[in-house]
Amino acid sequence: MVLDNVYTAPMLSTIRRPTLADVAKLIFVGAIWGGAFLFVSIALNDFEPVSIATWRVSLGALVLLLIAVVIGQQFPRGFHNWRYIFVVGFLNSAVPFFLISWGQQFISSAESAILVAMGTFVSLLLSHFTSADERINRSRVVGVAVGFAGVLVLVFWDLVESGTGNLWGQLAVMAAGCSYATSAVISRRLTHLPMISTSAVTLASACVYMVPLAFLLEDPLPADVAGSSIIALVYLGVMATALGFTVRFFIIRANGAVFMSLVGYLVPLFGVIWSGLYFADAIKLQTVISLSLIMLGIAITRRGS
């Protein structure tokens, strides 16, 4: 009984209204995750989708484990903490990486962006019923809706040209978005723990699911791998996963799951921006409008926090 009391006291840290620095962190995570699209396309020259996801999680876990050991940060203890760690690792990495890779065989990337972004609404609902400080209010609903409109503007014409895809592919990607949202809500149960070591073991727990899956479905160790593919995997593992996942934990601890879920609007936006810069394409008007709507949605949601 005493142990239960000790555990339950710090389960949910108190969140605060996002500052401009918090908004900058959210944009930073959206930027490095948006860049992942470009590096995944490069890595696909030598690796298959599940193998890329597995290398991404494994490299991220290794980097954070080494950092945690070097700085002497204590690792999480106790069955209750580890139970949530394995659940978050499963829902944030193993499930969505596989479902998105599988689902995008049947639907376009534009449709995928919309369906994943719908996870923000799931986060809004789950947080309302699982916490006392992330209740649904008018500003949060309006902000989430305006941000979603920004994503819709971003991919509208691509969606019109490609049409809608297979129902099972749609359901798979939608489930991936819900999985991301659920993992963000559950992650609040871990915010009383050291962030770097907790991020490390959460990613390591995802390896338990991902590594067997990669060897079962694909060949994660192909021969004659190009240097560009290796560089792409390093970016995905170190920047997009190790750094991005750690900053994600800090944002959830400070500002909650709903605010963090808005990164789902920024990711496809930065994916388009980085791709345009890489291929020297002009930034379209719809990208500027999308950026404006997404930033307005973030500002409105911040006001309601």
Instruction: Please give the average per-residue pLDDT across 181-191, as a whole number.
Output: 90
**What is the predicted pLDDT for the residue at 141?**
93
**What is the predicted pLDDT for the residue at 110?**
73
**What is the predicted pLDDT for the residue at 11?**
54
The overall average pLDDT reported for the chain is: 87
Cα 235 to Cα 29, 119, 239, 244, 262: the distances in Å are 13, 25, 5, 11, 23
- Closest residue by Cα to residue 240 from 267, 280, 209: 267
pLDDT at 7 exceeding the cut of 70:
no
Asked whether the beta carbons of 237 and 63 are under 8 A apart, the reply is yes
pLDDT at 227 exceeding the cut of 90:
yes
Burial string for 36-59 (b: 16+ CB within 10 Å, else e) reads bbbbbebbeebbbbbbbbbbbbbb
Q: Is 16 left (phi over 0), alpha (psi -120 to 50) or beta?
A: beta
Give, for 75, the enclosing helix (H) or strand (E): none
Length of the chain: 305
30-86 pLDDT tens trace: 999 988 888 888 898 999 988 999 999 999 999 999 999 999 999 999 888 999 999
**What is the predicted pLDDT for the residue at 12?**
64
**What is the predicted pLDDT for the residue at 216?**
92
pLDDT at 93 exceeding the cut of 90:
no
218 versus 278: the higher-pLDDT residue is 218
pLDDT at 282 exceeding the cut of 70:
yes
Triad 295, 291, 242: Cα angle to 5°: 75
Asked whether the beta carbons of 259 and 130 are under 8 A apart, the reply is no
Helix (H, G, I), strand (E, B) or coil at 104: coil
Contact residues for 87 (Cβ-Cβ < 8 A; gap 6+): 183, 186
**What is the predicted pLDDT for the residue at 163?**
72
Cα 177 to Cα 18, 25, 208, 217: the distances in Å are 23, 21, 21, 23
- Closest residue by Cα to residue 275 from 42, 19, 20, 28: 42
**What is the predicted pLDDT for the residue at 1?**
38
pLDDT at 247 exceeding the cut of 80:
yes
97 versus 254: the higher-pLDDT residue is 254
Name residue, tokens 């002009």: 282
pLDDT-wise least confident of 86-100, 191-205, 255-269: 86-100
Q: What's the pTM?
A: 0.85
- Closest residue by Cα to residue 256 from 93, 88, 127: 127
Cα 169 to Cα 34, 95, 112, 160: the distances in Å are 22, 14, 9, 17
Instruction: Please give the average per-residue pLDDT across 291-295, as a whole number.
Output: 93
For residue 137, which phi and psi values (nearest 5 degrees)? Answer: -140, 175
Measured CA to CA, the distance from residue 38 to residue 31 in angstroms comes to 12
Asked whether the beta carbons of 182 and 93 are under 8 A apart, the reply is no
Q: Which of the given ranges, 131-135, 156-160, 215-219, has the highest pLDDT on average?
A: 215-219
Band (pLDDT 50/70/90 cuts) for residue 21 is: very high
Triad 99, 214, 55: Cα angle to 5°: 90
Measured CA to CA, the distance from residue 94 to residue 117 in angstroms comes to 18
pLDDT at 4 exceeding the cut of 70:
no
233-243 pLDDT tens trace: 999 999 999 99
**What is the predicted pLDDT for the residue at 115?**
86
99-109 pLDDT tens trace: 887 887 788 77
Give, for 36, the enclosing helix (H) or strand (E): helix 36-43
